[in-house]
Amino acid sequence: DTAVSQTPKYLVTQMGNDKSIKCEQNLGHDTMYWYKQDSKKFLKIMFSYNNKELIINETVPNRFSPKSPDKAHLNLHINSLELGDSAVYFCASSPTYRADGGYTFGSGTRLTVV
């Protein structure tokens, strides 16, 4: 059983489109995250939810909107996609909001905007 699963694995879309990425964890963790990994492999935090509540909202364009229907799911919706949004997006979870316990990552969604 996959602990943190993201769909889709690959997403190719045109500029201006709206797309969503889904994430689910079956670890019973309280906290979930979205990270963006750029072409130089740098991982940057975007959002974090703890028990369905937004606790971290980094400087991200408001075209990005996370949604957490329950603590096992964290989805990411992106409006009006731009070329610069091309990256690998990772979902992760941790037992509590204190990240000291370590993260479990999904396998990533490679988004390509053309």
Partner 1 sequence: TQLLEQSPQFLSIQEGENLTVYCNSSSVFSSLQWYRQEPGEGPVLLVTVVTGGEVKKLKRLTFQFGDARKDSSLHITAAQPGDTGLYLCAGVANSGYALNFGKGTSLLVTP
Q: Which residues bind partner 1 (CB under 8 A)?
A: 4, 33, 40-45, 48, 55-56, 90, 92, 97-108
How far is it, in rounded angstroms, from Cα 29 to Cα 85? 28
Residues in Cβ contact with 47 at an 8 Å cutoff, skipping those fewer than 6 apart: 33, 34, 54, 56, 57, 58, 60, 64, 66, 74, 76
Q: Which is nearer to partner 1, 14 or 40 (CB)?
A: 40
Q: Which residue, among 17, 26, 71, 28, has the nearest Cα to 48 in the 3D structure?
A: 71
Nearer to partner 1, 56 or 72 (CB): 56
Smallest separation, CB 38 to partner 1 (Å):
10
18 or 96: whose CB is closer to partner 1? 96
The distance of closest approach from Cβ of residue 11 to partner 1 in the complex, given in angstroms and rounded to an integer, is: 14
